[in-house]
Amino acid sequence: MRGSLAVMALLLGSAASARPNIVVLVADDWGFSDVGAFGGEMATPNIDALAGAGVRFSNFHVAGSCAPTRAMLQTGAPSHRAGLGNMPETIPPEHRGRPGYETEMSDRVTTIAERLRPAGYRTYFTGKWHLGHVPANLPTGRGYDRALALSQSGADNFANKPNLLLYDKADWTEDGKPAVLPKEFYSSRLIVDRMIEYLDGGDRGRPFLASVNFLANHIPVQAADSDIAAYRGRYAGGWTRLRHERRAGAIARGVMPAGTAMVRMGSTPDWDGLKPEQRAQRARAMEAYAAMATAMDREIGRLVAHLKASGQYEDTIFVFLSDNGGEAIDPMAQAFTRLNAQYLYDTRPQEQGRPGSLTAIGAGFASAVSSPLRGYKFSASEGGLRVPMIVAWPGNPAVAKGIVAGGFAHVVDVVPTLLAATGVPLVGALAGHDLMPMLAGAAGVRGAAESLGYELSGNAVLFRGDLKLVRNLPPYGNGNWALYDIVRDPGETRDLAGAMPAAFAAMQAEYARWAKREGVLAMPGEYSAPAQIRANAIDDLLWPRLQPVLMWAAGGLGLVIGGVVAWRRRRAQSPGGGTKKPPA
């Protein structure tokens, strides 16, 4: 009865404040336990404060990489329907442009900005977009009034430079046109500066939607020297120790059940087996990662303080989430990218995290930031898909402040939840559910028999009740299906396929029906996402760079050969120019 009354009170609260402001805060590549309120050791006091003022979702899922998650977050539609069944960096050539694989947001779906703007909302976007680069598919083409947007997966954080391993320029635009960035900036600060500028320049008599999308902590991991110095020596104990610390922290903060088991992933090297200089290099990368997260948290605090000072904080709904788990790919681990990086970046170990450097934490620390879960970004394991999510609504007394919501939730639920909070009518079907009852303490919003499918790069999932059917292709798995109870075993340590054969078979059949309905394509040959990133980078970036050089070299060689042939011909035709006869 108490739960029903709480839900009713929340709904009444929504009706009384039918037009709250909305701030959506998206972190990039943060693992499940990166936030202090989810068990992490990094300093995130401002995000933790939002957790204390709202609800932490401990069983919240996204896609295994950024663009598909962002498409679902913007639209409430499955990623294939939104045109992001795969993203430009990881799509095989055989799939590019086919239905569901357009690699840009499809006109089959509607963004939350396109829904809220006709209802009188001001709509603003800053930061990483990654959902299209042509004007019609930039934020201002999809419902946003103002937008400073990066169309790519990442860029340098201190200068208007691209990730040179993937792009030839940083594609920043403002209001659909090439952006003029400050000569000196830091990405997290720039993204919040511009959002505050937009908010202050708009009509205060109308509510707003502010979508704030950080580059932190995408590769290249970079932060100010002072922020890095604050973590000096913190990670000298290595990733295995940190993984155990994070597990204990997550349990202590109530976002993981007591006794949660965890596996040691085969991709995690033995810390003690590394050379001292290797350990120092890896620890320094993790220091930069933590520093970048803390710098982002500080900017969130600045935005929140601005809303408090302007009297808008109480009437604002805050949503914080990461777009996927920690990033395990290390560009320096591959000979080709290592050679390229040494040419394009300052790769000295002592420079990690600083301007001009290329820093990544690699698989070892990526497994730790998602602890106690298995896997990381790109995989369909919980470490790739389960991320921290917080919803706070300070001015609504019906929101149960500081609680943990353990029921299953998904990124497709965010749009219907926000539409319900604003009172904007839902036009057209959405794949998600309104999470409002969970903000008031309800256990969940899905029935035990309801299923939800997912696929990206051949890594596939079907969620149903407490069960998760999952398949990971190499290098993240062996391509076989497994079955886990992710409520009692979130670390995915006990495969239940043999113990529950009927459920295992039924869920495989249900996944096949879902995949057919959504137009999921089988991956070609020996596909793997990391290998495809390298192949696409070579095709899209390296070859265009080399082609003029090779053409110039071929042309030069042709001139040389032509010159030699002409010289020999002239010499043969000149008097005495032929072959001399031997003397008689």
- Residue 477: per-residue pLDDT: 94
From 61, 66, 80, 218, active-site residue: 66
Rounded CA gap, 441 and 432, in Å?
A: 19
CA atoms within 13 A on the CB side of 544: 8
- Residue 555: per-residue pLDDT: 61
- Residue 332: per-residue pLDDT: 81
Rounded CA gap, 469 and 511, in Å?
A: 9
pTM over 0.75: yes
State the maximum Cα–Cα separation within the chain, in Å, rounded to a whole number: 124
Q: Which helix (H) or strand (E) holds 174?
A: strand 172-174
Q: Cα–Cα distances in Å, from 451 out to 67, 447, 508?
A: 23, 9, 11
Q: Cα–Cα distances in Å, from 118 out to 111, 212, 224, 227?
A: 12, 21, 41, 42
Q: Is 225 within the bounds of a domain? A: yes
Q: Which helix (H) or strand (E) holds 424?
A: none
Structure tokens at 280: 């120092």
Burial class of residue 181, CB neighbours in 10 A (0-12, 13-18, 19+)? middle
Q: Where are the beta strands (DSSP E) in 49-106?
A: 54-57, 60-61
Q: Is 552 within the bounds of a domain? A: no
Rounded CA gap, 522 and 515, in Å?
A: 10
154: closest CA among 49, 37, 65, 281?
65
Tens of pLDDT, residue by residue, the chain (584 residues): 334 444 444 544 444 346 999 999 999 999 999 999 999 999 999 999 999 999 999 999 999 999 999 999 999 999 999 999 999 999 999 999 999 999 999 999 999 999 999 999 999 999 999 999 999 999 999 999 999 999 999 999 999 999 988 899 999 999 999 999 999 999 999 999 999 999 999 898 999 999 999 999 999 999 999 999 999 999 999 999 999 999 999 999 999 999 999 998 888 899 999 999 999 999 999 999 999 999 999 999 999 999 999 999 999 999 999 999 999 999 888 777 777 788 889 988 899 999 999 999 999 999 999 999 999 999 999 999 999 999 999 999 999 999 999 999 999 999 999 999 999 988 777 889 999 999 999 999 999 999 999 999 999 999 999 999 999 999 999 999 999 999 999 999 999 999 999 999 999 999 999 999 999 999 998 898 888 988 888 877 655 555 564 455 566 666 667 666 666 677 677 665 554 444 44
Residues 6+ apart with CB under 8 A from 374: 262, 263, 265, 381, 382, 383, 491, 492, 493
Q: Is 525 within the bounds of a domain? A: no
Identify the DSSP state of 462.
E
Rounded CA gap, 579 and 450, in Å?
A: 91
Does the active-site annotation cover 433? no
Burial class of residue 465, CB neighbours in 10 A (0-12, 13-18, 19+)? middle
Q: Is 362 within the bounds of a domain? A: yes
Query: What is the Rg, in whole angstroms, of the alpha carbon atoms belonging to the chain?
Result: 26
Q: Is 462 within the bounds of a domain? A: no
Question: 411: how many CB neighbours lie within 10 A of its CB?
Answer: 26
Beta bridge partners of 56: 390, 404
The residue length of the chain stands at 584
From 61, 80, 95, 130, active-site residue: 130
Identify the DSSP state of 162.
B
- Residue 562: per-residue pLDDT: 66
- Residue 166: per-residue pLDDT: 87
Judged by DSSP in three states, 47 sits in helix
| 421 and 320 Cβ atoms separated by less than 8 Å | no
- Residue 371: per-residue pLDDT: 97
Domain hosting 401: range is 2-439
Question: 193: how many CB neighbours lie within 10 A of its CB?
Answer: 18
Q: Is 182 within the bounds of a domain? A: yes
Q: Is 361 within the bounds of a domain? A: yes
Rounded CA gap, 160 and 179, in Å?
A: 10
Domain count, the chain: 1
- Residue 169: per-residue pLDDT: 93
Q: Is 115 within the bounds of a domain? A: yes
| CATH number of the domain within which 400 lies | 3.40.720.10
Amino acid at 254: G
Does the active-site annotation cover 130? yes
